Structure 1
Amino acid sequence: MIINDQMIDDIALGATVLGTGGGGDPYSGSLMAKVAIANASKPVELIALEDVADHWMTVPSSMIGAPTVALEKLNSRDQMLIAFNAMESALNETIMATFPIEVGGFNSLIPILVAASKGIPVIDCDAMGRAFPESQMVTFYLDGLPSAPNTLADEKGNVATLHPIDGIWSENFARALTEQMGGSAAICDYPMRGSELKRSALGATLTKAMQIGKAIRNANEAGNSAIESVLNIVGGHRIISGKIIDIERNTQGGFATGGVIIERLQNNTVKNDIDTVYVHFQNELLLAHKGKSAAYMNDSNLLASTPDLISILDHETGQPITTERLHYGQRVDLIAYPCDSKWRTPKGIEVAGPNYFGYDVSYTSIESLAFKINLEE
């Protein structure tokens, strides 16, 4: 499948939904990807995971850092290519294909830019099925695959090559280095053969993003409910239709952290007793519970939790809103939906469940929570 401008727009839109508030700004990413395919020496192909040859060397292309930084410091095309070329040098091998490490906003589109410049295909897969804030929160880490080497580059031309012993140390080193690089950097990690990729990656996630983006676009053109279209695709539940009445946002430690409070709209169609919801985020939306304060968090008030996906969509258009663009007064719908089954294993919950982020609640699936709190319209 040859990637074109419409596919880029649909991927950007759908990936921002699946990115659960993170993954970077989709608008700048889509512009860069469109310019890249227009200037490419040959068409950029999106290939299925099963079509990857076992012997190919494959490497993801992505950005690391706080999304809020990218609003003021635009990412550079060159830094992404520098990090990718540095990986080829570290491996002493030609990379045959690239793919996104996560499905989310800007990070879903970087591989298109790199592929266009290198003349290689983009693989229809990722390692999260969503976006997560830390480097070890990938299926590759769950499956015991090595992260090293890592290559990072900033917009000034600085390059670093790391050889961490695992994904945890990759996160520790790369995050600290990213802060020195201005809070945002290009990164390549988890190089692997096609045989390993096919065993561990989540397939067809860019296709799913494209499907969601197209559904939102078609629903708005036809005057239908875009949010209903999204819920049908992801198998999700609408927690609340409301207005943002407060938001706290900080940039620290290489992350955008904080919380947002959503108050029920008078015409909320969700028939439950939820009047206000507090949503916690660390780049991505991680946990939602009843109440107007983080202090209300407990198992009885829990509404949705990582590793399941939580998204905030515009109430009228269904357009996804990233955490850095949330603001007071927005009318939004908060939805939640199931993660990939790999994240519901004991190791998956240990790596990306609520306790890892310091939330004193037990992980409960969105299906169970939806039944418990009657998330029916």
Structure 2
Amino acid sequence: MRFIDVSDIDDIALGSALLGAGGGGDPYMGRLEAIAAVKKHGPVKMLDAQEVPDDWTVAPICGVGAPTVALEKGSNGSEYARARELLEALIGKKIDAFLLSEAGGLNSLVPVSAAARAGIPLVNADGMGRAFPGIEQDTFSLNGVPTSPMVFVDEKGNRTVTETIDNSWTETIGRAVTTACGGQVICLGSSMTGEKMKRSAVLGTVDLAQRLGRIIRTAKDVRDEAPRDYFLRETGAYLFMTGKISDVLRETRDGFNFGRTVLEGFGEDKGKTGFVEFQNENLYAQIGDDVVMTVPDIICLVDHDTFTPVPTDALKYGKRVMLIGLPCDDAWRTPAGVALGGPEFFGLSVPYAPVEQTHERFGR
């Protein structure tokens, strides 16, 4: 058990953006809101999963919608209490702790804000170990946790409940609700016991995000090796290409950001071309004619000089970046995990191969 204070939030935000694979929302808004909530309500008590009593009721809380909308629209903070109040009435139980739905820049910090305002603990765990665009794409679904009932709350005060026949229908109906509410809402659902959470969640997510953020923040200060080598070694990331963003194609539809980031190699990669396709999160990366990485592994673009992750909603022409990949949690490498979070789920006609293997063929 430890407490999350203002001094922890910057590194958590930075590391979460790396785990978010370009999605999970821009950490800027989440960081500001979390800092404000902790300053007002005090540090957030965080428990490791094994410290959570088996009979507690816990639930992941997050923002749903297009990241570009979240950056402009934000929330007013009252959504968390309204969501919790309604879900508790629906399930007839008190929510004892929040946890992260995913590891993403904004969505790793929404639970910090919510826990601070509610005065309840946060669990050091999440449902993905990365970020995915779909509500149903989590390790809770892989372990039979129903999303229903799920509450969607917007900043205007609208509250919608979905009770669906399966978790994929929660995504379908919830996305329609999100779009009707302006493209961004707070959602709370997938409630479960502490015992079920321990068997279903990706553990240690907040600590991992904070460690990764610290590595990124301090990489430029190392003296005994090249900062890039330090960053890659300490994060466990695989480098595939250094390039300049030569074009960004982006559109918002159906509550998602869709697009492609086009890269032109420079330095050691001069003459190479590539692109990254995204749906909120980066889905696959191609260099020349070769697909070099796909979901469920974590595909990231980071600033070439500072190693700061670049979310899909912050991509800009001319920016120099590194295309890197990190291994996903082992749960996503099972047959069920690949089916729910792999290439075929997103309509891609390429087989999944672990990033460690593709790096041997296509990496640097």
Any conservation in 1 of the 2:24–2:131 contact (CA below 8 Å)? yes
Match of 2:119 in 1: 119
Match of 2:220 in 1: 220
Structure 2 CA distance for partners of 1:126 and 1:233, relative to 1, 3 Å: farther
> TM-score scaled to structure 2, two decimals?
0.96
Structure 2 CA distance for partners of 1:220 and 1:84, relative to 1, 3 Å: farther
In 1, distance between residues paired with 2:343 and 2:254?
19
The superposition leaves residues 37-92 of structure 1 with CA deviations (integer Å, 9 ceiling, x where unpaired) of: 1111x531111111110000001110100001123212221123322222112122
Any conservation in 2 of the 1:49–1:203 contact (CA below 8 Å)? yes
The superposition leaves residues 343-373 of structure 1 with CA deviations (integer Å, 9 ceiling, x where unpaired) of: 0111111111111111111111111111122
SS at match of 1:2: strand
Unaligned segments of structure 1, at least 5 residues: none
Match of 1:290 in 2: 287
In 2, distance between residues paired with 1:316 and 1:108?
25
In 1, distance between residues paired with 2:212 and 2:107?
17
Structure 2 CA distance for partners of 1:209 and 1:226, relative to 1, 3 Å: farther
Question: What is the Cα deviation at residue 217 of structure 1?
Answer: 1.3
Structure 2 CA distance for partners of 1:62 and 1:333, relative to 1, 3 Å: same
Match of 2:100 in 1: 100
> More deviation in 178-187 or 78-87?
78-87
2:287 counterpart letter in structure 1:
K
Match of 1:11 in 2: 12
In 2, distance between residues paired with 1:148 and 1:333?
40
Match of 2:29 in 1: 28
Any conservation in 1 of the 2:215–2:235 contact (CA below 8 Å)? no
Any conservation in 1 of the 2:6–2:39 contact (CA below 8 Å)? no
Counterparts of 1:189-338 in structure 2, within 5 Å, are 189-222=189-222, 227-268=228-269, 275-291=272-288, 301-338=290-327
Structure 2 CA distance for partners of 1:215 and 1:225, relative to 1, 3 Å: farther
The superposition leaves residues 165-208 of structure 1 with CA deviations (integer Å, 9 ceiling, x where unpaired) of: 22101101100110000000000110000000001101001111
SS at match of 1:117: helix
In 2, distance between residues paired with 1:174 and 1:70?
16
In 2, distance between residues paired with 1:236 and 1:313?
11
SS at match of 1:104: coil
1:334 counterpart letter in structure 2:
L
Question: What is the Cα deviation at residue 226 of structure 1?
Answer: 5.2
Match of 1:357 in 2: 346
SS at match of 1:336: strand
In 2, distance between residues paired with 1:192 and 1:144?
10
Counterparts of 1:90-169 in structure 2, within 5 Å, are 90-169=90-169
In 2, distance between residues paired with 1:182 and 1:195?
36
In 1, distance between residues paired with 2:228 and 2:155?
37
SS at match of 1:216: helix
In 1, distance between residues paired with 2:356 and 2:29?
35
Question: What is the Cα deviation at residue 9 of structure 1?
Answer: 0.6
2:159 counterpart letter in structure 1:
V
In 2, distance between residues paired with 1:232 and 1:267?
19
Structure 2 CA distance for partners of 1:232 and 1:26, relative to 1, 3 Å: same
SS at match of 1:356: helix
In 2, distance between residues paired with 1:258 and 1:341?
28
In 1, distance between residues paired with 2:193 and 2:144?
14
In 1, distance between residues paired with 2:95 and 2:335?
33
Question: What is the Cα deviation at residue 267 of structure 1?
Answer: 4.5
Question: What is the Cα deviation at residue 225 of structure 1?
Answer: 5.2
In 1, distance between residues paired with 2:255 and 2:70?
12
Alpha-carbon RMSD:
1.5
> TM-score scaled to structure 1, two decimals?
0.93
Q: Paired residues, what number?
A: 362
Unaligned segments of structure 2, at least 5 residues: none
SS at match of 1:242: strand
Alignment of 1:88 onto 2:88? yes
In 1, distance between residues paired with 2:246 and 2:178?
32
In 1, distance between residues paired with 2:359 and 2:117?
45
Match of 1:185 in 2: 185
Structure 2 CA distance for partners of 1:195 and 1:214, relative to 1, 3 Å: same
Any conservation in 2 of the 1:61–1:84 contact (CA below 8 Å)? no
In 2, distance between residues paired with 1:251 and 1:134?
15
Any conservation in 2 of the 1:146–1:165 contact (CA below 8 Å)? no
Any conservation in 2 of the 1:226–1:318 contact (CA below 8 Å)? no
> More deviation in 161-170 or 6-15?
161-170
For 1:342, which of 323, 331, 339 is the aligned residue? Answer: 331
Question: What is the Cα deviation at residue 162 of structure 1?
Answer: 1.3
SS at match of 1:263: strand
Question: What is the Cα deviation at residue 103 of structure 1?
Answer: 0.4
In 2, distance between residues paired with 1:230 and 1:48?
27
